[in-house]
Amino acid sequence: MKCVFVCVVVLAMLGVRVQAFSFNDLTDYVDKHQEEYVEALRDWVSIESDSSDITKRAELQRMMGVVEEKLRGMKGNVSMMDIGTETLEDGRVVALPSVVTAVFGDDENKHTVCVYGHVDVQPARREDGWTTDPYNLTEINGNLYGRGASDNKAPVLAWIHAVEAYTALNMELPVNVKFLIEGMEETGSNGLDVLVESQRDAFFFDVDYIVISDCGWQSTRPALTYGTRGNCYFYAQVEGPKQDLHSGVDGGAVIEPMSDLIGILNSLISASGQILIPGVADAVADFTEEEKKIYEKVDFDMETYRSSIGVERLMYDNKVDLLAHMWRFPTISIHGIEGAFCGFGTKTVIPAKVTAKFSIRQVPNMNPAVVEKQVTDHLHGVFQQRKSPNKLKVKMIIGVKPWLTDTKNALYEAGKRAVKKVFSVEPELIREGGTIPIARTFQDMTGKDIIMLPIGGFDDGLHSQNEKISRYNYMEGTKLFISFLHEVSHIKNN
Ligand SMILES: *[C@@H]1O[C@H](CO)[C@@H](O)[C@H](O)[C@H]1NC(C)=O
Ligand SMILES: *[C@@H]1O[C@H](CO)[C@@H](O)[C@H](O)[C@H]1NC(C)=O
Ligand SMILES: [Zn+2]
């Protein structure tokens, strides 16, 4: 008590007054600093922090440094955590980008919220079909286009700005805030699980809640996300002749690796989307009537969605089935074939070695270790029937479990109140078809309550061309985080 009194007196003498909480002052502050926030995003987007491209590793490391500097400038207790090295396919060993942590406040009488985010991005090249330079933030009709704008740079900045607004106005932070910002999310959060495990009794010891803002809404209505799918990513490689051949000369003489590869890929999924790998569907949790009722309430217009992605027909003709297949059933996607000819023109090469890349999204109660065996056995079985002299290798590169939580806990109630305060509507409760590996890692390793509080728009185009975030989502999202911190402080200890 005495200390508080002395501090207030000292601050008063310095001419600094601790302001009482005022949501209006905080939101005014955000509105007044809108241009600065956009410029900060421009700086961040200009850094090509593509974690999948090893030649960009220095840029990624520079990005982590920029985050560190920003948080240090706000007087946080900042650390750069070394998370070790990664061994590349060619045997080279390279350092993983450091994880940045920052601590704001250590008042034992307050709750402690840990904000997780990432500042690495998916690859982007103008030639992929971007209408603007992906690393030059460009505003068109209130939308800010750039790689990483929505995933996840603007949300991370919005969290930083939320804390900064309290500090700038000399308002006490209603909770202690800890940041954990990584740079390998887009390639499976390499190294982070080891860090989380080792920090369980250090960085995480006083953390009560973990918040992740790394996905989007489902419609124009704000949402709280309560589940994400996991992912198993595979390489299937067929190797044949010692070197590439020419089809005009050698075509009739060999069984082509590409032909084998297409043959086995075609055994993964039916034309109607049914997974053909024996056993995989058996583990999927039953689709209950209660769950169907939740999906029925989701504001999701199939027609808008269909036309936004530019297809003639969707796989399912009703909302509930479509959402279920996006959120709670597994899917198989084929992403590419390494070693195959993919340039312009009509080259008649026969590739000697080709590697297919495909992934299977994971849902409760699938287990990546079991899926790995099912897929490997299945592909080898199909390959054997082809009686090919070529060689097949199957390898699972990433195996991430799904995450699902209960929306009736105090943390989600705080999230609902925060949304209502800023947007004057109830949030939608949604699941996410994509994978955010860290959610499950946090759950398994720390046992803390986790909430996903997204601010991205439904049409932000994460991972695809012309990714953007709207000014509206960025600014109102910042206000949402400000409000959320306040609402969390009202959670009663039980
Ligand atoms: C900053 O964090 C470190 C490590 O977590 C801790 O040892 C130190 O006491 C903290 N410093 C302040 C000023 O809080
Ligand atoms: C970004 O785009 C703007 C508008 O086209 C242009 O004026 C500017 O030079 C570009 N900046 C960079 C770094 O390329
Ligand atoms: Zn992300």
> Among the three residues 370, 398, 426, which one is the final residue of a domain in this structure?
398
89: pLDDT confidence band, cut at 50, 70 and 90? confident
Q: Do 140 and 67 share a structural domain?
A: yes
pLDDT of amino acid 12: 52
Position 4 pLDDT exceeds 70: no
Residues with Cβ within 8 Å of residue 203, at least 6 apart in sequence = 101, 178, 180
Q: Do 346 and 260 share a structural domain?
A: yes
Q: Do 198 and 339 share a structural domain?
A: no
Q: Is residue 308 part of a domain?
A: no
> Among the three residues 344, 375, 398, which one is the final residue of a domain in this structure?
398
| Strand segments (E) across 85-199 | 85-87, 93-95, 99-104, 112-118, 138-140, 143-145, 176-182
Q: Do 431 and 385 share a structural domain?
A: no
Q: Do 137 and 262 share a structural domain?
A: no
Q: Is residue 181 part of a domain?
A: yes
Q: Is residue 159 part of a domain?
A: yes
219: pLDDT confidence band, cut at 50, 70 and 90? confident
Q: Do 459 and 421 share a structural domain?
A: yes
Helix pair 257-265, 368-385: axis angle to 10 deg: 130
Domains identified in the chain, total number: 2
Pairing of strands 112-118, 209-212: parallel
11: pLDDT confidence band, cut at 50, 70 and 90? low
In three-state secondary structure terms, 327 is helix
Nearest CA to ligand 2 atom 1: 136
What is the best residue among 45, 130, 133 to mutate for testing ligand 2's pocket, by most ligand atoms within 8 Å of CB? Answer: 133
Q: Do 446 and 456 share a structural domain?
A: yes
Nearest CA to ligand 2 atom 4: 138
Q: What is the Å distance from ligand 3's center to 185 Cα? A: 7
Average pLDDT, the chain: 94
Domain ranges, residue 414:
16-228+402-488
CA angle, 336 as apex, 212 and 389 as ends, to 5°? 135
Q: What is the Å distance from ligand 2's center to 161 Cα? A: 25
Which CATH number does the domain housing residue 367 bear?
A: 3.30.70.360
Taking alpha carbons only, the member of 252, 258, 262 closest to residue 352 is 258
**Tens of pLDDT along 297-318?**
898 889 988 988 889 999 999 9
Q: Do 127 and 276 share a structural domain?
A: no
131 lines ligand 2 (CB under 6 A): no
Q: Quick check: is 185 catalytic?
A: yes
Q: Is residue 206 part of a domain?
A: yes
CA atoms within 13 A on the CB side of 27: 14
> Among the three residues 369, 398, 427, which one is the final residue of a domain in this structure?
398
Q: Is residue 172 part of a domain?
A: yes
CA atoms within 13 A on the CB side of 237: 10
Q: Is residue 467 part of a domain?
A: yes
Nearest CA to ligand 2 atom 10: 136
Per the residue annotation, which of 164, 185, 432, 449 is the catalytic one?
185
Per the residue annotation, which of 50, 59, 68, 120 is the catalytic one?
120
CA 38, 39, 41, 46 dihedral sign is: positive
Distance in Å from the first CA to the final CA of the chain: 25
Q: Is residue 306 part of a domain?
A: no
In the chain, what percentage of residues exceed pLDDT 90? 86
Pairing of strands 428-432, 223-228: parallel
136 lines ligand 2 (CB under 6 A): yes
Taking alpha carbons only, the member of 476, 489, 493, 492 closest to residue 420 is 476
pLDDT of amino acid 1: 45
**Tens of pLDDT along 368-420?**
999 999 999 999 999 999 999 999 999 999 898 999 999 999 999 999 999 99
DSSP state of 359: E
Q: Do 181 and 38 share a structural domain?
A: yes
What is the best residue among 39, 130, 136 to mutate for testing ligand 2's pocket, by most ligand atoms within 8 Å of CB? Answer: 136
pTM of the predicted model, to two decimals? 0.86
pLDDT of amino acid 10: 53
Q: Which atom of ligand 2 is nearest to the CA of 137?
A: 1
Helix, strand, coil: what percent of the chain each, to 5?
Answer: 40, 20, 40
Q: Do 462 and 385 share a structural domain?
A: no
Count other Cβ atoms within 10 Å, centred on residue 342: 9
Q: Is residue 315 part of a domain?
A: no
Nearest CA to ligand 2 atom 8: 136
Q: Do 251 and 149 share a structural domain?
A: no
Q: Do 482 and 349 share a structural domain?
A: no
Average pLDDT for 19-33: 97
Which CATH number does the domain housing residue 480 bear?
A: 3.40.630.10
